[in-house]
């Protein structure tokens, strides 16, 4: 069972981090601080595209042609100036190709002296694609499914995606004939590298003919700082605040479990994006649910410990859950079977330990919040 008070605390701390990096607030702040001039066209692509586009329209007015490409069920009502295309994630589908073609056409047909505002967030790599000649949709899907199953991290995945695409790695903006591109990006990658976010869909080629103003407007570091502040405001002692979730979930569970077993009372915050290698025919779940279950094994029997592992975008793998909870009482005799089958989500669901947030309007990788009392 999860301690209700501790569960409430860590949920509030997780949400404090997420709210600090939501697309609406982050983009609006950047537009004001950077004094971004009024664009002629807005393109928003990624899981946070709707929130980012809405911020731009709140700032400039709802009369600028705007193309929004986002994940299914991540769209709110938007003004008539917006054309919205929803597509699949993490494996692209036919709508991803429709979106990629539309983005490519929009950029390459913009006139001289024009200003393009690109709003990019995580998920853009799968949501919009214009594949190289000879690459079919089925081939593209197979490539992505293979990379996911083999546990590629986001840098390795996006490096491969660039080689398959006509709009990644600066190739999209290479077709721009206008005067200025402003890119505002929410980072879902280690190092906040624009050439990796969305596989570089909002990055400019090395030698470009236009003015280019790129800005990272939200990151995992900003989210962790906000979570730490919220915890401190609650009177909790923050013992760990680091971005080190960049390994296999089972290796991370072992090292984090060791830390938590020997730690004094207090709060721990980790950020990043773990990886997992999947067996054939995996069950229900994602990397955060897998890490939560693996941690449950590592901390089994510890009293007064509550953990939440969740994706800041509100989705974990091909599920509608953001992640899961774990405590010293979560692990049970049959949990190992679920773990072997990569079916952590089903086990956590049965244990009442799934965490569902719904779409959050951002994507800065994952947050792990652990409270020991």
Of 227, 221, 308, residue with least CA distance to 19: 227
- Cα–Cα dist 158/176, whole Å: 22
- CB distance 224 to 243 below 8 Å: yes
Reported as a single tens digit per residue, the pLDDT across 287-318 is 999 999 999 999 999 999 999 999 999 999 88
DSSP 116-127: EEEEE-TTHHHH
Report residue 272's pLDDT band, with 50, 70 and 90 as the boundaries: very high
The DSSP bridge pattern shows strands 211-218 and 238-245 to be unpaired
Confidence band, pLDDT 50/70/90 cuts, at residue 147: confident
pLDDT tens digits along 40-95: 999 999 999 999 999 999 999 999 999 999 999 888 778 888 999 999 988 889 99
* Percent of the chain scoring above 90 in pLDDT: 82
Query: Residue 54 is encoded by which pair of tokens?
Result: 């809405």
Distance (Å, rounded) from C-alpha 107 to C-alpha 126? Answer: 19
Q: What is the mean pLDDT of residues 26-48?
A: 97
| pLDDT number for residue 328 | 96
Q: Does the pLDDT value for residue 261 go beyond 90?
A: yes
Task: List the structure tokens of 326.
Answer: 């774990």
What is the rounded distance in angstroms from the CA atom of residue 337 to the CA atom of residue 173? 48
Phi, psi (degrees; rounded to nearest 5) at 212 = -135, 120
Q: Please say whether the beta carbons of 312 and 363 come within 8 A.
A: yes
Predicted confidence at residue 1, as pLDDT, reads 63
Q: Give the pLDDT of residue 62.
A: 92
CA distances from 322 to 74, 102, 159, 287 (A): 14, 30, 26, 10
**What's the pTM?**
0.92
Residue 119 predicted with pLDDT over 90: yes
What's residue 76's pLDDT?
A: 77
How does pLDDT run across 176-235, given as a tens digit for each residue?
Answer: 999 999 999 999 999 999 999 999 999 998 878 999 999 999 999 999 999 999 999 999
Q: How confident is the model at residue 368 (pLDDT cuts 50, 70, 90)?
A: very high
Count of CB atoms within 10 A of residue 145's CB?
A: 13
Question: Hey, which residues does 85 pair with through a beta bridge?
Answer: 69
From the list 64, 204, 45, 212, the residue with the least C-alpha distance to 122 is 45
Task: Determine the Cα angle at 205 with ends 201 and 210, to 5°.
Answer: 105
């Amino acid at each position: 069972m999860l301690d209700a008070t501790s569960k409430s605390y860590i949920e509030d701390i997780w949400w404090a981090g997420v709210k600090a990096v939501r697309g609406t607030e982050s983009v609006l702040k950047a537009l004001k601080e950077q004094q971004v001039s009024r664009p002629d066209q807005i393109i928003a692509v990624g899981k946070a595209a709707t929130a980012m586009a809405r911020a731009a329209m709140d700032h400039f007015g709802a009369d600028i042609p705007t193309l929004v490409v986002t994940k299914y069920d991540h769209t709110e009502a938007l003004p008539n100036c917006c054309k919205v295309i929803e597509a699949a994630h993490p494996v692209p589908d036919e709508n991803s190709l429709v979106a990629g073609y539309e983005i490519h056409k929009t950029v390459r047909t913009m006139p001289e002296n024009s200003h393009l505002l690109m709003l990019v967030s995580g998920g853009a790599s799968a949501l919009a694609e214009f594949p190289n000649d000879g690459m079919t949709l089925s081939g593209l899907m197979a490539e992505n499914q293979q990379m996911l199953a083999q546990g590629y991290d986001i840098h390795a995945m996006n490096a491969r995606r660039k080689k398959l695409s006509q709009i990644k790695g600066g190739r999209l903006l290479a077709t721009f004939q206008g005067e200025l591109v402003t890119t505002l990006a929410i980072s879902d990658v280690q190092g906040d590298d624009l050439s990796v976010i969305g596989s570089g869909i909002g990055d400019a080629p090395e030698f470009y003919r236009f003015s280019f103003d790129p800005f990272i407007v939200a990151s995992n570091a900003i989210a962790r700082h906000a979570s730490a502040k919220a915890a401190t405001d609650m009177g909790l002692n923050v013992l760990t605040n680091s971005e080190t979730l960049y390994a296999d979930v089972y290796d991370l569970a072992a090292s984090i479990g060791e830390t938590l077993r020997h730690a004094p009372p207090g709060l721990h915050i980790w950020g990043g994006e773990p990886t997992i290698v999947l067996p054939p025919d995996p069950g229900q779940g994602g990397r955060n649910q897998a890490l939560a279950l693996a941690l449950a094994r590592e901390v089994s029997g510890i009293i007064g410990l509550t953990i939440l592992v969740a994706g800041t975008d509100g989705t974990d793998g091909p599920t509608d859950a953001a992640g899961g909870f774990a405590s010293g009482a979560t692990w049970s005799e049959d949990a190992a079977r679920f773990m072997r089958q990569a079916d952590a989500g089903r086990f956590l669901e049965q244990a009442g330990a799934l965490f569902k947030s719904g779409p959050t309007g951002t994507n800065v990788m994952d947050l792990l919040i652990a409270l020991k009392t």
